Structures are given as structure tokens and as C-alpha cells.
Amino acid sequence: MPIRLKKLIGTFLLVLLVIVYAIVSTAFAVAQLADKSALVHLAFYLVTGLLWVLPAMLLVKWMEGKPKRAGN
């Protein structure tokens, strides 16, 4: 797959990942953390604010990968 196509697909997937992740984590927070303390909210948003980076790193690594040559 050409690198430009990988980057285009990866860009759309990265934007989709961020949107879906934000909606899901916020919906979970609203449903489960409404009556919890501010410290629990801080910890939750700190962890979930950093957790999306893991799948994003894998996606960026895939996007930057060298294209495979035919015959190898």
C-alpha cells in the first residue's frame, strides 16, 4: 500500500478514534461518576486523557511504516 494512502486512511482513523473515545469516556463519566468526589473525577480524566495515546501510537506507527516491496 502506498505511504500516502496509508497516511490518508490513518488520518481518518485517528480522527474517528479521538471522537469515539471522547464520546465513550464522557458517557461513562456522566453515567458512573456523577456522585463521586472531585478527586475521583480528576483521576478518571487524567487516566482517560492519556489512555487514548496508546492506540493512537500504534496507528501512527502503522502509518509511518515502510511500504512492502513486491517480490519480498
pLDDT at residue 55, as a whole number: 93
Report the chain (72 residues): mean pLDDT per 10 consecutive residues: 90 96 93 91 93 93 79 56
pLDDT reported for residue 65? 80
Which stretch of DSSP H or E encloses residue 21? helix 3-32
Helix (H, G, I), strand (E, B) or coil at 36: coil
Rg over alpha carbons for the chain, rounded to the nearest Å, is 17
pLDDT of residue 72: 54
